[in-house]
Amino acid sequence: MGSRDEGEPVTKLVWRVKLVTELQAGETMEVEVARIERDEQAGLADLRLRLSEAKQLTSALQAEIVPAQVTIAGEHRCACAVCGRRLASKGYYTATFRSLFGDVPMRIRRLLACPCRNGGLAKSFAAFDLEAATVAPELAYVTARYTALAPFGKVADLLSELLPVSGAPNAGTVRNRTMRVGEAIVQPNVTTMATRLTARPAEPVVVGLDGGYVRSRHRQDERHFEVVAGKVSDARGSQSRFAFARNSPTIASGAFKQALAMAGVTADTPATVLCDGHAGLWRMLREALPNATVVLDWWHAAVRFEHALQAARGLGAVDAHLAAEAVRGLERAKWRLWHGRWPGCRRKLAALCHWARRTSIHGMAGIARLEHHVDELLAYLERNHGALVHYAARRRNGEPISTAFVESAVNEIIAKRMNKKQQMRWNRTTVQPFLDVRTEVLNDTLEDAFRRRYPGCRPANVDGPIALAA
Ligand SMILES: [Zn+2]
């Protein structure tokens, strides 16, 4: 059995982790931040720093570093920036700083404004400016980033599993933090980006629009509401997604213009817009991009042709000759549409409607169904005739004719997280910040938005290992 004798004292292996503070050159101070103990006998499961220990260690470090930083930064504000006079203290206030490595209680000094700066200023101010945000930007970033990819509750579970985030971050906290990121970080970013990008020379872009429905939180008013999602792609192939709730026409129109601005598109940008013929979208398009070439998605038209063709083929069960005649008529109409000959296509379809109506008087089975589909197809094309183009020529020139490239955006933005499988319900008036966060994550621009708002937050290209003492 065991090699160890009965009664032999059990020796512990001990590691003590000390933090050596050197806030001024040569002046050091040590504090023990963790103590790790193990038995001499170790199995595979013992060969490691435990997750709980790592959490304890990082939060102990954070609890030492943050208050020292706040105190020192505050000392620099203790003298008047104008006359140098020492400012009087007006007591302290307490706050909790929430970070990826735990909650840190803070005591922040309030200072009385200097008498030399009379008027215009508040009577007192905090020696350290928390900017009304007690959540560390990096915690907000990580939370929002993963919320775009997984449900709130799952994000809460993951964060509390791996990090010493305290204050029990539950689904509600994660939701609220993400919403604030959308409102306070992403939205102001939209304005900055729009101004920055107008300086860029106008390069042609392709804009694709599509819509999807999400479940409403307020089921007494409506079960679902519509979210419009889209993509802008430029000549160099870079793509930018956007999404907004279809609220009132004015709001949707504003949201659309903003989304375009975000992607660097203004009213003067040469643009081709593809969409599925949704009546409300045309109006929005005309307002935002009055000079754009608008193209009705070929596949939406083709699917309607296919329904009519099926109905026509169905006639074959009764009369093969009539069925063949109807199929031929539809195929000719479709060929004309494909070759940009809308008047000819319309004439063919109108003739087919007329023919079906005449034939239906004879009560032939299936003819009413055909008539219905052809009627619908014709009305659809008439509604969208301004967006009918020479599809064959566009295809030959390698120009887009379908919104297929947008469908992935719709799926990523709406379907993945908001569909009925996940049982998520949204409020049409508050969904926008979440859509904004999600599109920024998918566009890979969320980190930039944080950097713009908090200079120094997650600096680019310096994520190497921390400098280690020799
Ligand atoms: Zn002064």
pTM: 0.81
For the chain, the residue count is 470
276, amino acid identity: D
Cα 129 to averaged position of ligand 1 atoms, centre (Å): 19
Cα 81 to averaged position of ligand 1 atoms, centre (Å): 7
Separation between Cα atoms, residue 373 and residue 38, nearest integer Å: 77
Dihedral sign for Cα atoms in the order 137, 142, 143, 145: positive
pLDDT of residue 418: 55
Q: Is the pLDDT of residue 105 over 70?
A: yes
In the numeric block, which tokens belong to residue 131?
């900017």
Cα 139 to averaged position of ligand 1 atoms, centre (Å): 37
pLDDT of residue 420: 46
pLDDT of residue 210: 84
Cα 54 to averaged position of ligand 1 atoms, centre (Å): 47
Contact between residue 331 and residue 313 where contact means Cβ atoms under 8 Å apart: no
Q: What is the mean pLDDT of residues 451-465?
A: 74
Pick from 7-11, 197-201, 319-323 the range whose average pLDDT is largest: 319-323
Which of the pair, 331 or 416, is modelled with greater confidence?
Answer: 331
The β-bridge relationship of strands 102-112 and 293-296 is unpaired
Q: Is the pLDDT of residue 2 over 50?
A: no
Cα 80 to averaged position of ligand 1 atoms, centre (Å): 5
- Give residue 375's pLDDT band: very low, low, confident or very high (50, 70, 90): very high
Q: Is the pLDDT of residue 178 over 90?
A: yes
Cα 112 to averaged position of ligand 1 atoms, centre (Å): 11
**What percent of the chain shows pLDDT beyond 70?**
88
Cα 119 to averaged position of ligand 1 atoms, centre (Å): 12
Cα 118 to averaged position of ligand 1 atoms, centre (Å): 9
Cα 86 to averaged position of ligand 1 atoms, centre (Å): 8
Which of the pair, 397 or 361, is modelled with greater confidence?
Answer: 397
Dihedral sign for Cα atoms in the order 292, 293, 297, 301: positive
pLDDT of residue 204: 86
Q: What is the mean pLDDT of residues 196-209?
A: 73
Contact between residue 242 and residue 230 where contact means Cβ atoms under 8 Å apart: yes
pLDDT of residue 307: 95
Separation between Cα atoms, residue 207 and residue 295, nearest integer Å: 10
Of the ranges 202-206, 358-362, 405-409, which one carries the lowest mean pLDDT score? Answer: 358-362
Cα 134 to averaged position of ligand 1 atoms, centre (Å): 29
Cα 107 to averaged position of ligand 1 atoms, centre (Å): 25
- Give residue 201's pLDDT band: very low, low, confident or very high (50, 70, 90): low
Separation between Cα atoms, residue 266 and residue 435, nearest integer Å: 21
Which of the pair, 13 or 168, is modelled with greater confidence?
Answer: 13
Cα 236 to averaged position of ligand 1 atoms, centre (Å): 55
Cα 115 to averaged position of ligand 1 atoms, centre (Å): 6
Cα 94 to averaged position of ligand 1 atoms, centre (Å): 26
244-299 pLDDT, tens digit each: 888 777 777 888 888 888 777 888 888 999 988 776 777 788 888 888 999 999 99
pLDDT of residue 5: 55
- Give residue 189's pLDDT band: very low, low, confident or very high (50, 70, 90): confident
Of 258, 257, 85, the closest CA to residue 187 belongs to 258
Cα 127 to averaged position of ligand 1 atoms, centre (Å): 15
**What percent of the chain shows pLDDT beyond 90?**
37
Separation between Cα atoms, residue 356 and residue 350, nearest integer Å: 10
Cα 8 to averaged position of ligand 1 atoms, centre (Å): 72
Cα 448 to averaged position of ligand 1 atoms, centre (Å): 37
Looking at every residue in the chain, the average pLDDT score rounds to 85
- Give residue 361's pLDDT band: very low, low, confident or very high (50, 70, 90): low
* Per-residue exposure over 421-435, b if at least 16 CB sit within 10 Å of its own CB, e if not: eeeeebebeebbbbb
| Residues facing 131 on adjacent strands | none
The β-bridge relationship of strands 12-24 and 27-39 is antiparallel
Q: At what angle do helices 137-147 and 446-453 cross, to 10 degrees?
A: 160
Contact between residue 212 and residue 414 where contact means Cβ atoms under 8 Å apart: yes
29-58 pLDDT, tens digit each: 999 999 999 988 888 888 889 999 999 999
Cα 89 to averaged position of ligand 1 atoms, centre (Å): 14
Cα 110 to averaged position of ligand 1 atoms, centre (Å): 16
Cα 132 to averaged position of ligand 1 atoms, centre (Å): 25
